[in-house]
Amino acid sequence: MVCDGTVLNPGSWGAALLAVGTTLSAMKHVLDGHGKIAYALVRPPGHHAQPTMADGYCFLNNAGLAVQLALNSGCGKVVVIDIDVHYGNGTAEGFYRSNKVLTISLHMNHGSWGPSHPQNGTVDELGEGEGFGYNLNIPLPNGTGDRGYVHAMTELVVPAIQKFEPNMIVLVVGQDSSAFDPNGRQCLTMDGYREMGRIVRSLADRYSGGRLLIVQEGGYHVTYSAYCLHATLEGVLNLPLALLSDPIAYYPEDEAFPVKVIESIKQYQNDVIPFLKGS
């Protein structure tokens, strides 16, 4: 099904096929051992596309189909880390009943936006059946900023992945979490993206033999999105020095409230999710 907010034009289907084909090719490049890291720079995005529903400018779930390819190719467990400003509801829905895929989404606390996006992205949407506990939502308050996001990564994402021990990591990146994006309010700068890239790279080195697929999603401030993407890749590549300085830093931060929210999410997850108990 398609929805009012996600419109098709004569070129949309071909573009969607190219996007998902590029993402599958990038995953296959890694799975076949031709490289450890691949980045799929694709449009249209995909993480809102559900198995039977287009949503949020997304028609086919690029990252989700790449995850399924990894499972079909023998990867026992895959983790998806989504840092787009919006909840990766489509990817979550695709694996909501699976314990082989751990979907983690750090997003603005925006809730549902209508029939095409019934999911709220709240902490209690944990998966169903065998998949219970394998969908971790981290809804963050507006203005969380660099230090707040890094705190969420170290306190919530890293411990979950340490417990899950994936064979493949997929990083779903959206630069609409940046300080100047018209669609987001999360106040990330290049420093935050760079540090998150470093954290994900260290997780890949430790758990997936360095294998990491990066898939592009949102980002609507065209100029600053490019800088933030560059910083993300600098972090993933473990570059000792930044190649680009931030042209419009520095954004004032107060992480006190985000830290409280993150600690409450951590307590909730540790109380109710079986594989995290005792973290």
236 lies in a domain?
yes
27 pLDDT band, cuts 50/70/90, is very high
pLDDT band of 98, cuts 50, 70, 90: very high
> Which residues are identified as catalytic?
48
Q: How many domains does the chain have?
A: 1
Chain centroid to Cα 116, Å, comes to 20
pLDDT computed for residue 249 by the predictor: 74
**Residue 20 located in a structural domain:** no
With bands split at pLDDT 50, 70 and 90, how would you rate the model's confidence at 279?
low
Distance in angstroms (rounded) separating the CA atoms of residues 218 and 177: 9
- The CA-based angle 262-263-266, given to 5 degrees, is 90
| pLDDT of the residue at 183 | 86
Q: Is residue 31 part of a domain?
A: no
Q: What is the pLDDT of residues 209-227, one digit of tens each?
A: 999 999 999 988 889 999 9
* Rounded Cα distance, 167 and 140, in Å: 28
The CATH number of whichever domain residue 97 belongs to comes to 3.40.800.20
Enumerate the β-bridge partners of residue 80. 103, 170
Query: Residue 177 falls within a domain, yes or no?
Result: yes
Distance CA 93, CA 51 (A): 7
Q: Which domain holds residue 208?
A: 75-272
Report if residue 61 sits inside a domain: no
